[in-house]
């Protein structure tokens, strides 16, 4: 178990020159009734099953387990709602914090968000020059919402 | 992954004299929208997370993972819908098949069901003298339904 505290920002890609090596992520969701999240993810060649509790501000309970790749693949194909989210994740260190930059494809092409994970809600951190607006509490940017209402439909 | 094929029957406990050693099970569900099942279970001193696909007759996709006991306990307490299902499971071998007998407590006190798991839907098996009516397809007896509408409310 971990209490997950994340903050999420939009990204101005024109201010990022060289991206590090990225890892492909495909993820899908089993739709729940009460805002808890059941996520199946393939990250590179590994499978993961993640359960998250309801959001409480930037904090939420998170339980993540590695599962066989083939299981994850079969769950994505047969049990998860469509479309599956497809993105590349880049990890970028900026002044002692690790940022995860997600570049989306498919129905969310054009969307780039950066997330930072914090130890507690009061932890201070420096904003990289390439992040713009904070969208932590904007549910449109939740990955399970990007499945329901992808970025291409926003305009 | 396994394709789970189960048949379920009611039980006449008066025809069962000695029960073997049973194991306590507590289980809860994260409510889903589309009939797939996300189950958290504590069985004895072990935790499990199980994802099941939609039912198709007596068959359904099932993915089960052992998880830390403390995780299962915290998920049951904080993420699963209430009430939590509480039962004792007895395993009884009858003519080359293993039956799982579930004796329920709490809001489902008085309910006893027996399940047999089969290799395929055509597999033959002998009915023990202590089983009565088959209820495989009766959704009231699904454990996630017993949470929504417990046995004590049926009359």
Interface touch A33/B38, C-beta < 8 Å: no
Residues A49-66: what's their mean pLDDT? 85
Q: What is the pTM of this model?
A: 0.82
Is residue B105 annotated as a catalytic residue, yes or no?
A: no
CA–CA gap between residue A116 and residue A24 (Å, rounded): 19
**CATH number of residue A99's parent domain:** 2.40.320.10
pLDDT at A57: 64
H-helix or E-strand spanning residue A116: strand A112-117
CA–CA gap between residue B77 and residue B47 (Å, rounded): 13
For residues A56 and A133, which has the higher predicted lDDT (pLDDT)? A133
Interface touch B31/A33, C-beta < 8 Å: yes
CB contact, 8 Å: B38 with chain A? yes
B31 to chain A, closest Cα gap in Å? 6
Asked if B142 and B52 touch (Cβ cutoff 8 Å), the reply is no
A11 to chain B, closest Cα gap in Å? 33
B105: containing domain: 2-153
Asked if B23 and B88 touch (Cβ cutoff 8 Å), the reply is yes
Among A55-59, A128-132, B14-18, the range of highest mean pLDDT: A128-132
**Option in A49, A61, A74 nearest B65 (CB):** A49
- Nearest chain B residue (CA) to A37: B30
Interface touch B33/A38, C-beta < 8 Å: no
pLDDT at B143: 84
Asked if B15 and B121 touch (Cβ cutoff 8 Å), the reply is no
Using DSSP's 3-state secondary structure scheme, residue A85 falls into: strand
| Strand pairing class (B85-94; B97-104) | antiparallel
Number of domains in chain A: 1
**Nearest Cα to Cα of residue A30 among A55, A50, A5, A2:** A50
Interface touch A31/B34, C-beta < 8 Å: yes
CA–CA gap between residue B38 and residue A50 (Å, rounded): 11
**Option in B63, B71, B75 nearest A75 (CB):** B63
How many cross-chain Cβ pairs, A to B, lie less than 8 Å apart?
A: 67
Q: Which stretches of chain B drop beneath a pLDDT of 50?
A: none
Q: For residue A84, give the DSSP letter.
A: P
Locus of tokens 């507590």: B26
pLDDT at A47: 98
Interface touch B63/A63, C-beta < 8 Å: no
- Nearest chain B residue (CA) to A30: B32
ipTM, two decimals, is: 0.79
**Lowest mean pLDDT across A44-48, A119-123, B29-33, B124-128:** A119-123
Strands, E assignment, chain B: 2-11, 23-30, 37-43, 46-52, 59-67, 85-94, 97-104, 112-117, 131-134
CA–CA gap between residue A27 and residue A35 (Å, rounded): 17
pLDDT at B57: 64
The torsion angle over the Cα atoms of residues A69, A71, A72 and A76, rounded to 10 degrees, is: 140
Using DSSP's 3-state secondary structure scheme, residue B146 falls into: helix
Residues 6+ apart with CB under 8 A from B102: B25, B87, B88, B89, B112, B113, B114, B115
Radius of gyration for the alpha carbons in chain A, expressed in angstroms and rounded: 15
**Nearest Cα to Cα of residue B122 among B61, B67, B59:** B59
Residues 6+ apart with CB under 8 A from B155: none
CB contact, 8 Å: A82 with chain B? no
């Amino acid at each position: 178990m971990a209490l997950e505290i994340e903050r999420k920002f939009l990204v101005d890609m024109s201010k990022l020159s060289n991206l590090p090596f990225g890892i492909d992520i495909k993820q899908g969701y089993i739709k729940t009734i009460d805002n808890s999240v059941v996520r199946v993810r393939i990250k590179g060649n590994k499978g993961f099953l993640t359960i998250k509790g309801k959001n409480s501000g930037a904090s939420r309970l998170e339980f993540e387990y590695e599962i066989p790749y083939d299981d994850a693949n079969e769950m994505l194909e047969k049990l998860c709602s469509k479309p599956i989210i497809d993105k590349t994740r880049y990890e970028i260190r900026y002044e002692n914090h690790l940022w995860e930059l997600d570049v989306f494809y498919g129905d969310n092409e054009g969307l780039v968000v950066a997330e930072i994970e914090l130890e507690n809600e009061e932890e201070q951190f420096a904003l990289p020059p390439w992040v713009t607006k904070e969208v932590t509490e904007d549910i449109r940017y939740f990955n399970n919402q990007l499945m329901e209402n992808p970025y291409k439909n926003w305009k």
